[in-house]
Structure 1
Amino acid sequence: MTPQRFCNPFAGQDFNWLLATQAAAHGDKPLLIWEPFDRAPTTYSYAQFHDAVGRVAASLAARGVGEGDRVLIHLENCPEFLIAWAACGELGAMAINTNTRSSEEEMRYYVTHSKSSVAITQPGLLGSLSRVREQLRWVVCTEHNAGVPAELPAGTEAFAALLDAQPAAERRRITIDPMRPMYVQYTSGTTSRPKGVVLTHGNALWAARVNALHMELRSDDVHLAVMPLFHTNALAYSFLTSLWTGGSVVLMPKFSASRFWDVAVRNRCTWHSTIPFFFNALLSLPRPEKHYFRLWGTGANDLPQTQALGIKTIGWWGMTETISHPIVGLCGLPNTPMVIGRPATTYQVCVVDDDGNPVATGETGHLRVLGMPGVSLFKEYLDNPEATAASFDEQGWFISGDRVTLLEDGSIRFADRDKDMLKVGGENVASSEIERVLMGCAPGVVAEVAVVAKADRMLNEVPFAFVRLAEGTAAEQHEAIAERLLGFCREMLADFKVPVGVRFVEDFPRATLEKIAKAELRKQLAAEAS
């Protein structure tokens, strides 16, 4: 008997189909409203956005970019990010989205690992590609960002030139295949290097459709997007959902507390994706007498801070690998406050103990998610089949690496992370990545390191390093060594990964198998803070 295969809910559809369909249906309606800090707003209708995507796709194709090629998109929030990303989808190429706060060394890894041959970036970020310039056939540069050079370096082309081409008469360049890889987003893990999460056209459509379902979005909704587009949150929760429903996206370069309410009220924004850093900053500022928000999404339902702002919030939990929210709150009905929400009807989730057995109500266990790879779950880790296989258990459940608690009413509360991870102002940071850099800074001097989370009022957590030096290192050298370690981290890591402090210890508290008991280090920092 032939094994059964699931029917793909997006058979006969891809992202290009969605964009073309919505451009035909909502041609003159605003899709993207760009709110830069240094100039007047710019509006792209659905038809104008679709036309711009076609022009950039035609230009990329004329320059040799085609199906299966990998194009690095290293941009802060701007219309060019979304246009270039969609143009890659039209060509069947893969967009490689990277964090704009990455160091030169991190960018060298991303370009080399992804085998990208073309990069699209902005003037202020050209320097971060200096170590990999010879690996790139050519580089495209936008006009945005302070410090625009008088002349672009050799081999660098202005993004505006890509808009000069006419869209191909026949926009359908590739066969429709929802399982075709479309983009890659790098995510920190417990290994020393970030993994490239491969996401398909089907994943993009799932994000668009299911996120809109979870948020109960309508075509008259206007979303205020301030998260970085190189993360799943802004790209999937904000842009793709608005495209699916025929709504509008108001895009800011980044979060700005002083500009937030003006932009939100002027554009009559109705919903917003947020994190504690944002709403904590807004609490201290004057608020408008009237706004149009009916809903914000964040990590938990009905938080006191957002209630103080007069905003209803629903919780959600998701990862780059899960595309949407396997756990989410209810939009129009009461939720249990201060918890993530309930299992979404679009996924299956389970909570298990260390042996893989279901935990009882009230107990805490490991969160796992069942879905369809390439549709409701990521397709694979880029060129890393071992890591892909290790991320699923024997029954095919995705291992999230998070621990949650099942409550009596069916809600789920976040507990902690299995993985040695930090959450720095919304950015996932693997402590092992920082530890790798610290150990490589002073071989023979640094014997052992441990990086743990230190509580921070605005960023939630920040990295803090404990270091054991080799025997015989004089105490008088500690200050110089600490500055050397931090300076090396600043060179090799994105700024949010750099430890806020270094503490030297004669030895570490130990758990079983001589592993460092990081929980004890975290307790030390917490006790000192209190």
Structure 2
Amino acid sequence: MDSSGDRPFLIFEGPDGSVSQWTYREFDEVVTRMGATLAAAGVTAGSAVHVVLRNCPAFIAIWLACARAGVWMVPVDPTSTARDISRQVDRVRPAAGICAAGRADVYAAGVRESAAGQLTTIELTETAADVASPDVTSAAGTGLAGGDVPGRVVAPSDRLAVMFTSGTTSEPKGVVLTQHNYAHVADTMSAIVGLRPEHRWLVTLPLFHANAQYYCIAPAIAVGASVALTSAFSASQWLRQARDLSATHASLFAAPIRMILARRPADAPAGRLEHVWFAQNLGAQHYEEFTALAGCRPRQLYGMTETVAIVCADVSDPYRNDTIGPPIEGRTVVLRNPDTGADAAPGEPGELVLGGVPGEDIFLEYLDDPAATGRSLVARDGGTWFHTGDMVARVAGSAGGSGALRFVGRRDDVIKVSGENVSLTEVEATLAQAPGVLECAVLGRPDPVRDMVPVAYVVPRDREHPPDIGDLAAWSERNLAAAARPRDWHLIEALPRTSVGKVRRFKL
């Protein structure tokens, strides 16, 4: 605080386009007031706070107040239904809940459906006004006075958060994270990009997700850099926000990048970013188009909520669209055949298995689920190994434990077509570049002759003039290997997605 106190910390563009900002010293006072608000609501060390908010300054204040007081937060999707909220409350048994006033009726309904039936609830506006005053009003209408409260010494092993996985293929699991996990990710991620105090992260993805917390805000705090936060992701406004908020760094998934390319205005400003992380596969054409818009070549990474810091990062010169690079320093990775557990054969995709220390450089456990924890965290060879469930393959020409890798997809995303491995994720990245296609998802379907075959679900770029399926099939013949070509095509209005753009395949 002594060195960063007067430096900018948070610049927030609200839903009405207004911009507010705080220095590190000013926001430290906000965190102190939020800590007092939580204490007045009955939150004590070791208890949980259920956070159901869109991006806003209060979200960050709650997170930091929890870290300071030895409380753990449970950030969840703000679009959660009453049924979702009921199940979350039953699973984490929070001391208090925090939601938006505009969605308070849904939150209250969820609490009533829970086993508890009631919960102290704080309603916020999700605007800068939430942290502009030392008073925050509870759902009961009682003013919770701000002010300083006694600090508490927290241990590195103390729980700081439980984040639910996205649930794209199964029931969401609660990933338990410690104070040490957050300190580790802050130091690791700031070092990887050479982050300095004059840098500024643009955060447009949801704060309840690991990406914004791990890769952007925690590293910024570690070095005294600043954060430009928007209330929501807007594909058409992203380039303008990067310019107007003076961002130097950003982090995205492939799906939002494709949305930015599809919806960029004709007068979109030229980008001046220095660094962009991206995750998940991006086609070469889309990669080069976004490079021209952003002003720098995006750098692909690989990581999960459970891995805390990233596992791999592209170190090509120049960066490429098709590699997650080798493991970063300090990471030990092996590729295993998911069926036999043996080392993956050369040239074959294998499950990425990561060595680590639970509660330090990987997550501690899954909340109240020892069976799932035991399947994922396996003791072997004198250490602990996390089975990610993600398939990767070595890039041609690389060898050994430090060789570059490419992301293939989740285990269920790799199918056998007449004995050949086909990555549905890679097929999707290619098909998304076809004329007239906005985005697509590809699933595997059993076939009596070929074992499995790909089936494509396509969202047209122009709903009034969708692409011809015959043209799409012809295009795939020119751009995909025979085994990877979809055998059936379906035109649909939209893909079912999580809040960060991951496709919920099971809904298709």
TM-score normalised by length of structure 2: 0.75
> Do the aligned partners of residues 528 and 335 (structure 1) sit closer, same or farther apart at CA in structure 2, a change above 3 Å counting?
same
Structure 2 SS opposite 1:121: strand
Q: CA deviation at 1:358?
A: 2.2
Task: Report deviation, 1:356.
Answer: 2.3
Aligned to 1:165: 146
Distance in 1 (alpha carbons) for counterparts of 2:236 and 2:446: 45
Distance (whole Å) between structure 2 residues aligned to residue 75 and residue 131 of structure 1: 15
Q: 1:313/1:342 Cα in 2 relative to 1: closer, same or farther (>3 Å)? A: same
Matches within 5 A, 1:131-530: 131-133=110-112, 135-144=117-126, 156-157=139-140, 161-162=143-144, 164-168=145-149, 170=150, 172-173=151-152, 175-188=153-166, 192-283=170-261, 284-286=264-266, 290-299=270-279, 303-309=287-293, 310-330=295-315, 333-353=317-337, 354-395=339-380, 396-407=384-395, 408-409=397-398, 410-419=403-412, 458=438, 460-461=440-441, 509=446, 519-520=452-453, 522=455, 526-529=486-489
Structure 1 residue 374: deviation in Å? 0.6
Query: How many angstroms does 1:117 deviate by?
Result: 3.2
CA distance in 2, matches of 1:34, 1:56: 18
Which one-letter code corresponds to 2:197 in the other structure?
S
In structure 2, do the counterparts of structure 1 residues 459 and 181 end up closer, same or farther at CA, with 3 Å as the change threshold? farther
Separation (CA, whole Å) in 1 of partners of 2:324 and 2:138: 48
1:459 to 1:136, Cα distance in 2 relative to 1, 3 A: farther
Residues 51 and 136 from structure 1, CA distance in 2 versus in 1: closer, same or farther, beyond 3 angstroms?
farther
Question: Which structure is richer in relative contact order (CA contacts within 8 A, separation 6 or more)?
Answer: 1
Write 1 or 2 for the structure with the bigger share of helix. Answer: 1
Partner of 2:466: none
Distance 1:47-1:69 versus aligned 2 partners, 3 A rule: same
129-138 or 386-395: bigger deviation: 129-138
C-alpha distance 62-277 of structure 1, shift in aligned 2 (>3 A): same
Contact 2:454–2:488 (Cα < 8 Å) also in 1: no
Which amino acid letter does the alignment assign opposite residue 125 of structure 2?
E
The answer as to 2:33 corresponding to 1:37 is: no
Structure 1 residue identity aligned to 2:326: R
Q: In 2, distance between residues paired with 1:347 and 1:325?
A: 9
User: CA offsets per residue over residues 506-526 of structure 1, 9 Å max, x none?
Assistant: xx8489xxxxx7x54736983
User: What SS does the aligned partner of 1:390 have?
Assistant: helix
In structure 2, what residue type is equivalent to 1:141?
E
**1:414 counterpart letter in structure 2:** F
How do 1:7-22 and structure 2 match up within 5 A?
Answer: none
1:118 aligns with 2:99: no
2:243·2:269 contact (CA, 8 Å) conserved in 1? Answer: no
Q: Deviations over 1:132-168 (max 9, x none)?
A: 14534311011238xx9xxxxx971579x44x41122
Q: Is the 8 A contact 1:33 1:42 kept in 2?
A: yes
Question: Whole-Å Cα distance in 1 between the matches of residues 255 and 162 of structure 2?
Answer: 26
Q: Distance in 1 between matches of 2:324 and 2:156?
A: 30
1:83 alignment partner in structure 2: 61
Tell me if the contact between 2:68 and 2:154 (Cα under 8 Å) persists in the aligned partners: no
Aligned match of 2:468? none
Distance 2:219 2:74 in 1: 21
Deviation at 1:47, TM superposition (A): 0.9
2:84 is aligned with 1:103: no
Aligned residue identity for 1:286 = A
Kindly provide the CA deviation profile for residues 90-137 of structure 1, in whole angstroms up to 9, marking residues without a partner as x: 221110111112222111111111112311010232233213145343
How far off is 1:343 after superposition?
A: 1.1
Contact in 2 for aligned 1:28/1:46 (Cα 8 Å): yes
CA distance in 2: counterparts of 1:187 and 1:203, whole angstroms: 17
3-state SS of paired residue (2:183): helix
3-state SS of the aligned residue for 1:522?
strand
Long gaps (5+) in structure 2:
131-136, 415-427, 459-485, 491-508
Which stretch has the larger CA shift, 388-397 or 49-58? 388-397
Q: Tell me the CA shift for residue 324 of structure 1.
A: 1.4
Structure 1 pair 246/520, CA: closer, same or farther in 2 (3 Å)? same
Q: Encode CA deviations 1:151-208: one digit per residue, 9 max, x unaligned.
A: xxx971579x44x41122x4x32x3311110011001458853111111111111111
Q: Which moved more, 1:52-61 or 1:356-365?
A: 356-365
Q: Secondary structure at the match of 1:305?
A: helix
Q: Which runs of 5+ in 1 are unaligned?
A: 1-22, 149-153, 422-451, 467-507, 512-516
Aligned residues: 416
For 1:527, give the aligned amino acid.
R
Does the 8 Å CA contact 1:268/1:291 hold for their aligned counterparts? no
Change (3 A) 1:124 1:524: closer
Q: Deviations over 1:283-316 (max 9, x none)?
A: 3423555543011110268823323424311110
